[in-house]
Amino acid sequence: MNIRSISWVIVAAITFGLGSAAAKADEKESYSAAIDHFVFDFAIPTYANFQASTEKLDQLVESLCATSTPAALNSVKVAFRNTVLSWSVAEVIRFGPVREKNRIERIFFWPDTRSRVQKSVNAQLGATHENLIAPTTLLSGRTVAIQGLPALEVLLFRGDSDRLAMEGGDATRCAFAKAISNNLVNISREIFVAWHSPDAFQETIRTAGPDNPRFRSDAEVIQEILKSGAEMTELISAVKLRPALGDTAKKSKPKRAAFWRSGLTLENIQANISGLVALQEKSRLSDLLPEAERGYARNLLFDARQVENTLTKLIDEKKPWKEQVTETNSRTLLLYLLNPLGGVKDILSIYYPEILGLQLGFNSLDGD
């Protein structure tokens, strides 16, 4: 090789090295921007909304305990629905403070295949006087089955819930409901503060690096965000829908669904999907993709809209959930949901990572 050839090799190597360094810098900058958008435009507002809804619910439960009337009970049920929907959006965030101190289970102990919630609620209502829960009782040390939304749903929506609206009320049930609503306020505040405070989890997620005990790089944070969305779609398909639908209408088990007592099963899933769309758009995840690959982001939104539109049709039917899982037309729509949900999951768990060179690894729904 002559001197001129060697010179060209050296120049090419230097140019390639500079180009690679610039590409890595651009990648880090785009990842950092997406993380900031996720934190400030999605996570913090989402948890702020959840906290606000729990506080309103807590106030109305207190009013119900003070003035037991059908109107007061109805107001609590409306506030319960709003809290479920705000949680359903937040449910999309499957990592971070919500995973610490069993918070996700304390808010939403589900699936509950052994009916632990109902059994625990019944046991508490039948407890001796000295073991009864007072409105100010801290539930953090009690079983997670009585701490959150499913237990409160049992108190508010099962057949004997009208006792809360009777003249004189039901002091035992109301005190129990108040302890749960207060517990939800405390948990939601803890999560919000952890995301909102610059020196808490917000710092952890925004300062990835060799000295960070949780995230070694911004790429790991992006992996966690994508995995969170993919896990949510799998949770909807594999846990919220399939077990309730069963292999056939005769084998359906509608009570395996989340929030079946309150009639919020479909609205819960619809808010989950709205949360997924918001995560995608607010975090500007499509900006991470090369221009030629951004069709995947559009496909994700298309599939998500298909799910949302189908759920709207089902909700507009105003049929009891137990009928919808067996009645032919409704069941067909419910089964159809699995197709676009699969599309959303594939984009988040396969195509995004493949294009970005990421490895999602296992999620909390994977077996050993």
DSSP state of 213: S
Choose the final residue of a domain: 175, 207, 239: 207
The segments of the chain whose pLDDT lies below 50 read 9-23, 25, 367-368
Angle, helices 295-316/328-336, rounded to nearest 10 degrees: 160
The verdict on 175 and 218 lying in the same domain is no
Q: Is 18 exposed, middle or buried (0-12, 13-18, 19+ CB in 10 A)?
A: exposed
pLDDT of 43 reads 98
The verdict on 112 and 248 lying in the same domain is no
The total number of structural domains in the chain stands at: 2
The verdict on 134 and 238 lying in the same domain is no
The verdict on 302 and 333 lying in the same domain is yes
The verdict on 258 and 142 lying in the same domain is no
The verdict on 233 and 361 lying in the same domain is yes
pLDDT of 133 reads 86
318: left (phi over 0), alpha (psi -120 to 50) or beta: left
The verdict on 243 and 365 lying in the same domain is yes
Give the CATH number for residue 194: 1.20.1420.20
pLDDT of 6 reads 54
What domain range is 325 assigned to? 214-368
The verdict on 183 and 229 lying in the same domain is no
Contacts of 123 (CB under 8 A, 6+ apart): none
pLDDT of 362 reads 58
The verdict on 153 and 199 lying in the same domain is yes
The verdict on 220 and 168 lying in the same domain is no
pLDDT of 348 reads 97
pLDDT of 131 reads 78
Choose the final residue of a domain: 148, 181, 207: 207
User: Which tens digit of pLDDT belongs to each residue from 202-261?
Assistant: 999 999 999 999 999 999 999 999 999 999 999 999 999 999 999 999 999 999 999 999
The verdict on 186 and 43 lying in the same domain is yes
Choose the final residue of a domain: 182, 207, 232: 207
pLDDT of 120 reads 96
Give the CATH number for residue 355: 1.20.120
| String of DSSP letters for 255-298 | GGSTTTTTT-HHHHHHHHHHHHHHHHHHTTGGGGS-GGGTHHHH
Residue type, 286: S
The verdict on 282 and 250 lying in the same domain is yes
pLDDT of 311 reads 99
User: Which tens digit of pLDDT belongs to each residue from 148-193?
Assistant: 999 999 999 999 999 999 887 788 999 999 999 999 999 999 999 9
